[in-house]
């Protein structure tokens, strides 16, 4: 998606949502570590534990299949804190597959349901560092095999981290708004292989086709420059308010098969995603390009966009409150320290 082409539309939506959700006031939770606010990112999960709702997330791209297929996804994810440091999220995606050749029928349906259990294990406000661990479970058989949903579970233990550079010396204060986040997960299929039996149409003989399901390293990261941080914690340049809410960033989302790869190969696939996030105290809007790193990853530049609601800021004593424990100490990504 072209950010320039959509700026007017996004700005209008921001204004409309701002009227709906109320004026910017002190945010209550979301992931704020010291002076650092870590926004939710689109390609990888942010390192925080929060009450939040991503709805909708929309993407469109051409797959790396031969011949390629135009894939469009509409998804949503709801995350609920059980305690201040532990949350469970539930996600679902509906996929539309449209072949490039109009004579070939497409397909559409739900992907498998996913559940993520996430626990924040470390938080250092002075050095703006946070780390969480999690387990993602893809529930096999809950989606449609016509869009590629597997009939077996997949388990992915994952480490998430975030680091802001607000502790840099004054000589490089212009770098203090920079932050990096990352995640590393190891996807373990619940089934090592699937064998499909059939009949050769030419000879009538029985056939058996075995597909091995690889174990995959899911890894990625972001580098972001926070304009809210620049204004509140470094210097106020007197920029327009819209600019002061932006977080330009680049994400990388990559997958590398590392075991049981007899039929899958070991080629790394993924995308590099430059984009921007507009951050409010109760919601954010984000858009990124999806640039495939090789032919196997896709055949053109796609895009992804998302509306993300901070439930712990919208309703801190209701749906945004941890099930066990009270609302956390008020904080804001725009407060001057």
DSSP structure string for 266-332: ---EEEEEEEEEEE-SSEEEEEEEEEESSGGG-SS-EEEEEEEEEHHHHSTTTTTS-SSS-PPPP--
List pLDDT tens digits, range 36-63: 999 999 999 999 999 999 999 999 999 9
Lowest-pLDDT range, 5-14, 48-57, 58-67, 127-136?
5-14
The structural domain count of the chain equals 1
Domain of residue 143 covers 3-314
Structure tokens at 196: 């499909």
- CATH of residue 91: 2.40.160.40
Does the pLDDT value for residue 333 go beyond 60?
A: no
Structure tokens at 126: 């002075």
Query: In angstroms, rounded to a whole number, what is the distance separating the alpha carbons of residues 290 and 252?
Result: 9
Residue 321 is assigned to a structural domain of this protein: no
Neighbour-count burial of 7, counting CB atoms closer than 10 A to its CB (0-12 exposed, 13-18 middle, 19+ buried): middle
Residue 110 is assigned to a structural domain of this protein: yes
Residue 335 is assigned to a structural domain of this protein: no
Residue 153 is assigned to a structural domain of this protein: yes
Residue 67 is assigned to a structural domain of this protein: yes
Residue 326 is assigned to a structural domain of this protein: no
Q: If you compute the radius of gyration of the chain from its CA atoms, what whole number of angstroms results? A: 22
Query: In angstroms, rounded to a whole number, what is the distance separating the alpha carbons of residues 57 and 11?
Result: 18
Residue 337 is assigned to a structural domain of this protein: no
Q: Which of 283, 251, 324 is nearest to 53 (CA)?
A: 283
Does the pLDDT value for residue 129 go beyond 80?
A: yes
Residue 143 is assigned to a structural domain of this protein: yes
Average pLDDT across the chain, whole number? 87
The mean per-residue pLDDT over the stretch 252-265 comes to 95
């Amino acid at each position: 998606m072209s950010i320039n082409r959509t700026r007017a539309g996004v700005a209008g939506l921001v204004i409309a949502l701002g009227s709906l959700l109320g004026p910017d006031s002190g945010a209550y939770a979301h992931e704020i570590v010291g002076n650092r606010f870590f926004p939710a990112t689109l390609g990888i999960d942010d390192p925080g534990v929060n009450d939040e709702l991503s709805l909708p997330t929309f993407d469109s791209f051409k797959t790396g299949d031969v011949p390629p297929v135009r894939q469009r996804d509409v998804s949503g994810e709801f995350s609920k804190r059980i305690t201040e440091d532990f949350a469970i999220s539930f996600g679902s995606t509906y996929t539309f597959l449209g072949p490039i050749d109009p004579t070939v029928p497409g397909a559409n349906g739900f992907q498998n349901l996913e559940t993520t259990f996430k626990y924040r294990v470390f938080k250092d406000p002075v050095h703006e560092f946070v780390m969480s661990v999690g387990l993602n479970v893809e529930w096999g058989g809950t989606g449609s095999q016509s869009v590629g949903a597997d009939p077996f579970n997949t388990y992915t233990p994952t480490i998430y981290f975030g680091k802001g550079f607000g502790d840099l010396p004054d000589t490089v204060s212009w770098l203090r708004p920079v932050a990096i986040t990352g995640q590393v997960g190891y996807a373990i299929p619940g089934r090592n292989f699937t064998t499909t039996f059939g009949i050769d149409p030419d000879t009538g003989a029985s056939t058996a086709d075995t597909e091995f399901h690889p174990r995959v390293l899911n890894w990625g990261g972001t580098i972001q420059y926070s304009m809210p941080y620049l204004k509140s914690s470094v210097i106020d340049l007197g920029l327009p308010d819209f600019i002061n809410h932006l977080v330009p960033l680049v994400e990388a989302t990559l997958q590398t098969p590392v075991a049981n790869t007899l039929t899958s190969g070991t080629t790394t696939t993924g995308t590099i995603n430059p984009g921007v996030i507009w951050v409010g105290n109760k919601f954010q809007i984000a858009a990124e390009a999806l640039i495939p790193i090789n032919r196997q990853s896709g055949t053109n530049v796609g895009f992804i966009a998302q509306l993300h609601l901070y439930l712990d800021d919208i309703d801190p004593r209701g749906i945004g409150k941890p099930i066990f424990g009270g609302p956390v100490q008020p904080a804001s990504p725009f407060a001057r320290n």
